[in-house]
A and B are shown apart, each in its own frame.
Chain A
């Protein structure tokens, strides 16, 4: 007896033989988006909006932390946005969008009850199997906390599957700090060693001040720690220097890269980094993988 998966695989194989095509989605356009209803919104900063969404057809979105969506408003266009919630929290998914230009501003004008049009999940997320059982450090700078929040929630929800869990979060100033409720939970949680900092303090700030690398002094890390870095390009080199001095191998460092994107499916060419496509080979790469790519950092 064949399992249903084997039957499907055999049918797909037969179809591939006929058409000479070995892909799984050979009869649909890659570009037709699905409707997602806005269930909830929050406005954590002046320019960022946090959306909780649900697919209009009631299906669940099945994804890995680190994957992205193309998110759009019909008539305005679509842009790549990282998934900010964990797939362990089913039924809804979340994104945080910063208004910088035409499409992001159009998205951020939408309200509860309106729809966003999405394609995805797209790309290559974090290798959760490789992180299984390991000590994990997340270094998130600025809006880099949005895609990593998916991974943070995932680890928090399956805490027993991972080793020690350390989280560094840095923002320019206290007004830029995202996810206040999450941070309160992380701060109180025994399973997460949460450290945050701001580059510039304000009068009401009593926490840590200094750039994100100064947090390395507050804790000790073993060379076997798996590290995830997500933030502005300038942050990478400073963080990498710290990781080098801790003896952390480049195979164990994951980076989340940003490039201009149009298609999200490896066709339009905009997101190329040498011969890799950020949209399908990434956006998550190991540092070892991109070290050899001259255009990466």
Chain B
């Protein structure tokens, strides 16, 4: 069996930790304060569903994912890809380089850049002051919007690349035929371009959503989930429970619930797009 070594490695390095995580989620393991670790059945999950802060985290996670991934990165990525096809080479190069730079920056660097941009004495407020517009402390008043924007800024490049490749695949003659038939720009987009890159849209949405669901460093560095819990998405909530409140079992249970949210999104996309993977 040539596949045996690979299977063994997978079991050891992947299934082992995953199985251990699932097990921990059903215990009351703590990082400190108690040395015992007992099986408690679904207590952690019951606790999560009764926890207002968990509900708040789910809502914020959905808002964050919808705003920054589905609307932001996805649409902006498609728009950029489309515009860049029509642009001249230097413009294309410069735009592409800028967008991709934001993407390849380490998360923590990007987070500090955006923290500096949004903070009260930050760049954004300086610009607003110049324009005589009212400034405010964005990280404090609209934290979830600020981190969503940050995630769009950082993650759009990925969508742009996927869509650039997809648009390049569309045969020229179809587009030209539509133009000859007098189809306007929006109609061409709706009836020709979008259906033809349907699979790419599905794939991109799925990858984007999954990576956005697990964004931690960006939010942690910008707001720490605060003020209060107004930007405490599930990964931050999970960290707080596991490492700040030392409730490893509960934190892991939340991690599994986050996994569930991710799976739900994936199933929806697979159904909607009927993508053949």
Asked if A and B are interacting partners, one says no
- A residues lining the B interface (CB < 8 Å): none
